[in-house]
Copies of this chain bind each other. A is one copy, B any other.
């Protein structure tokens, strides 16, 4: 306990130990949920025990990833989904990932601006989180935020990722159900395939269904699916749903598809397989980050090894091997 206390430098008189927040989070207190998420995001050492406890209380929520290219209408769609799930009695949460600058670390509030009205009307919990240059867009703090909301009784929990690329691949490892949203007629075929997110979809949604090109995009996605079917080794066939978040067309169908996919996962036994894969991934991410922090926080050998690599007297692999070996021989944590 003293080691834990020591590693937390500044603390105001009113600071509540994170352990004291846990029962309040489990009881659903919104300010305490927000507080604990902030501590996870800031990576307070003091909070790590509490977050471990939270994890052990989590595991009931349906975690839904929503992804697609920028400008596809994800935020508008999530507003509509908040409404639909809230109307059905669910306690909805949203975590929006902002790909922030590695320099400023700032997150953009666009999502909150857009989702604000629906979220407030429905008492949904909406949170933007920055990725801050972590390797992998959905690093530990995001996963811990999901745990916190899960333990507090929120379900479904939507994770919205911005962009196309590694973040989208990463979302698969954290979500039970992945919705890929495509705007109609964006780019040509090669670009659409290159986007590389087609295969990760459990459900396809095509936004702006009122536009004339939407039907062609639905057909194109269906066509691509017949080429690369069953990549996930699942017996589920991803539906392709046109929708217009502004008119509300298709939102009920999408809600139903999300619910059906959850049911399918439970009935087929795939849920257990996915949970296991998610756990494995999280342990590996945690190991990565523990090691990274140790070395990043200034293990002595690092600066010598770094200098040798800079001068091309050594190379990154050899330096990494030497540092791990000395770590193993050495002083521990």
Majority-rule SS of A interface residues:
helix
Residues 26-57 of A, flagged 1 when their CB comes within 8 A of B and 0 if not, give: 00000000000000000000001001110111
Interface extent on A, as a size class?
A: 35 or more
Closest to A195 in B: B70
Residue of B nearest to A100 (CB): B196
- A247-277: which have CB < 8 Å to B? 275-276
Return A155 CB to nearest CB of chain B, in Å: 16
Chain B residues whose C-beta falls within 8 Å of the C-beta of A167 in the assembled complex: 165-166
Contact among B110, B173, B200, B288 for A190, CB-based, below 8 A:
B110
Q: B309 and A279: CB pair below 8 A?
A: yes
Q: Say if the beta carbon of A103 comes within 8 Å of chain B.
A: yes
* Chain B residues, CB < 8 A from A166: 99, 131, 135-137, 163, 165-167, 170
Among B99, B164, B282, B319, the residue within 8 A (CB) of A196 is B99
CA gap between A143 and B135 in the complex, in Å = 15
Given A71-B191, A131-B166, A306-B279, do A199 and B288 touch, yes or no (CB 8 Å)? no
Residue A133 contacts which of B58, B169, B275, B282 (CB distance < 8 angstroms)?
B169
A319 CB, min distance to chain B CBs, angstroms: 5
B101 touches A282 (CB 8 A): no
Which residues of chain B are within 8 angstroms of A165 by Cβ–Cβ distance?
Answer: 99, 131, 137, 161-168
A46 → chain B, closest Cβ, in Å?
A: 13
A312 and B110 in contact (CB under 8 A), knowing A169-B99, A296-B284, A317-B286? no
A283 touches which of B55, B108, B323 (Cβ 8 Å): B323
- Once the chains are docked, how many angstroms separate the CA of A292 from the CA of B284? 6
Chain B CB within 8 A of A59 CB: yes
Identify the closest chain B residue to A57 (Cβ). Answer: B312
B286 touches A288 (CB 8 A): no
User: In chain A between 280 and 331, which residues have their CB closer than 8 angstroms to a CB of chain B?
Assistant: 280, 282-292, 295-296, 302, 305-306, 309-310, 312-321, 323-325, 327-328
5 contacting pairs across A/B (C-beta < 8 A): A102-B200, A110-B193, A110-B194, A133-B169, A165-B167
